[in-house]
Chain A
Amino acid sequence: MTDFTPWQSLFGGALIGFAAVLLMAFNGRIAGMTGILSGLIPPLAADWPWRAAFPAGAIVAPFVYMAVGGSFSFDAPVSPAALIVGGFLVGIGVHFGGGCPSGHGICGIGRLSPRSFAAVATFMAAAFVTVFVIRHLIGA
């Protein structure tokens, strides 16, 4: 069980949306985590410095949040094999699908891209089916 956190999630989501708008306004870029990271996987993109700075800021942020008294839960209830297989599929899928929940879900739908609507509907549906199969049919 995890607690339903409507207000915190709404507020956190708004911050993510605000970050997406600011990155477009200042750096002229889509705030999709995989799009940004792709340029850091060799061959290194010419504009790698800002691409490295964005995830670096994101890694520091939880510590800032904890330092001001914030807290969050963390539990990864999956096996090492699931992390490796799942991560590998995410990597392949994100490359062919052209984005992840931050890129397609917030930025893409945020600018009303039909491709992003299709991608989000597809990966959401696939994730619902996958979790249903794993938890209720296989019973893991």
Chain B
Amino acid sequence: MTMQKVVSAFLIGGLFGLGIAISGMIDPAKVLNFFDIAGTWDPSLAFVMAGGLAVALPGYRLVFGRRRGPVLEPSFSLPTRNSIDRELVGGAALFGIGWGVAGFCPGASIPALGLGYWQVPVFVAAVVAGIIVARALKARLASHKTA
């Protein structure tokens, strides 16, 4: 079963990477130009979102409408939190600032990791460092709250 899950994730990850490459989102210059309405604006990213949602919205409805769960797992793993709190909004704001500074986001940088551009591993390493620091911060905040 593990093997099937791995093969499935590999092939679907391939489809995801293909989408990132074909959509042009693998190119940070295109992403940054989307955010530069006052300058060299390139609206392509909005079309990527539109194309993705045009498939994901009806696709998810179909998948969740099945009486049985996923093919390779006993059940769907879905986020359980539903509050819009300071943590979510503050985190998303920091994310957006970093995205605007670097031009990369995780989903677009991973498919570019093998292409030989030095910028990609530098960005990915910085993201990993950020996640590790955020974990430590979160643990600290949690212990303060309970103390």
Contacts and interface: CB of A to CB of B under 8 A. Distances in A.
Contacts of B62: 21
Contact of A60 (B17, B99, B127): B17
Interface in A93-140: 93-98, 100-115, 118-120, 122-132, 134-136
Given A97-B94, A130-B35, A27 B72 contact: yes
Given A62-B111, A83-B126, A88-B130, A16 B19 contact: yes
Interface in B14-34: 14-30, 32-33
Interface of B is mostly: helix
11 contacts: A17-B54, A28-B76, A59-B111, A82-B102, A83-B119, A87-B127, A92-B98, A93-B98, A97-B93, A123-B96, A130-B99
A136 B19 CA distance: 31
A21 B30 CA distance: 25
A14 B32 contact: no
Interface of A: 1-6, 8-34, 37-38, 41, 49-51, 53-65, 70, 72-78, 80, 82-98, 100-115, 118-120, 122-132, 134-136
Given A53-B10, A110-B60, A128-B100, A13 B19 contact: yes
Q: Which of A8, A14, A29, A38 has the most CB of B within 10 A?
A: A14
Interface string B52-88: 1111110110111010011111011111011110011
Contacts of A85: 98, 101-102, 126
A27 B23 CA distance: 24
A61 B48 contact: no
Contact of A92 (B48, B94, B107): B94
Contacts of A34: 106-107, 127, 131
Given A14-B55, A21-B59, A33-B106, 9 more contacts: A9-B44, A9-B51, A12-B21, A13-B47, A20-B16, A28-B77, A56-B10, A96-B91, A118-B88
B44 to A, nearest CB: 4
In the complex, which of the residues B50, B110, B115 has the most CB atoms of chain A within 10 Å of its own CB atom? B110
